[in-house]
Amino acid sequence: MLTILFSPSETKHSESNSSKLDTLLFGIKGRFKILDEYNKLIMSKDTKALHKLFGLKDNREFDRYTNDIYNALTCKAIYRYSGVAYKYLDIKTLDETAVNYIERNCIIFSNLYGPILAGDNITDYKLKQGESVADIKPDVFYKDNFGSKLDTYLENSDILDLRAGYYDKFYKPKKEFTTLKFIKDGKVVSHWAKAYRGIVLRELAKNSINSLEEFKKLELPNLHVKEIKKTKLKREIVFDII
């Protein structure tokens, strides 16, 4: 099996179509400490605290995010996020088999919910990357509480880590894993890296790739393997964007 580690995005779709928050990867119980504190903050309507929590300046944007998360409707995480990577993934244009692949094989590292499957249902929320919830640092909280669970979960999987570097703080694999780097005109790209992470996930799903060996044989649009670097447990595939 191939498991893909993926980043969330700051921007999200507001639409919800499923029941209240319930089942998440590893269960919801282990998240109550941080979720309860988040819920207290958003229900307090404390403008100063919410400015800091959300990273928003306009109070008129607050109403969307100040609903009790335990009673709010949800949608699958893979449909919730709307950033660059998700635009290029373009989940709504994939067939059912490809969507099911992503829902089962992709773990998204949410700033609020921690590691969740792409098929898990989550509420619409806002939490600025790197921001603490009360005195809880999400990256430290989830690393401490879910690190060993992820080690066990990934024990028999090949790991393709498509996350932005920030999310190493939430979890770093304890076994061999593969990352990707994208080069354009001799320079490492940032914005386009997000786009190509979405494109790569899309191609993995369309082709039902189930191992790193299968991935190595996959032809990716506008990408050419420049080199492969190996450092300890990390294998980095460097692509030229052509």
Mean pLDDT score across all residues of the chain: 95
In the chain, pLDDT over 90 holds for what percent of residues? Answer: 88
Instruction: Assign 59 a pLDDT band (cuts: 50, 70, 90).
Output: confident
Angstrom CA distances, 76 to 22, 51, 124, 140, stand at 12, 27, 10, 25
Give the integer Cα–Cα distance in Å for 123 and 15. Answer: 9
Mean pLDDT value across residues 195-220: 96
Q: What is the pLDDT of residue 60?
A: 82
Q: What is the pLDDT of residue 226?
A: 93
Instruction: Assign 128 a pLDDT band (cuts: 50, 70, 90).
Output: very high
Give the integer Cα–Cα distance in Å for 141 and 84. Answer: 27
Indicate whether 191 pLDDT > 90.
Answer: no
Higher pLDDT, residue 185 or 166: 166
Give the integer Cα–Cα distance in Å for 100 and 238. Answer: 28
Indicate whether 164 pLDDT > 90.
Answer: yes
Q: What is the pLDDT of residue 45?
A: 86
Mean pLDDT value across residues 204-223: 96
Q: What is the pLDDT of residue 150?
A: 98
Give the integer Cα–Cα distance in Å for 63 and 101. Answer: 34
> 63-117, pLDDT tens digit by residue?
899 999 999 999 999 999 999 999 999 999 999 999 999 999 999 999 999 999 9
Indicate whether 17 pLDDT > 90.
Answer: no
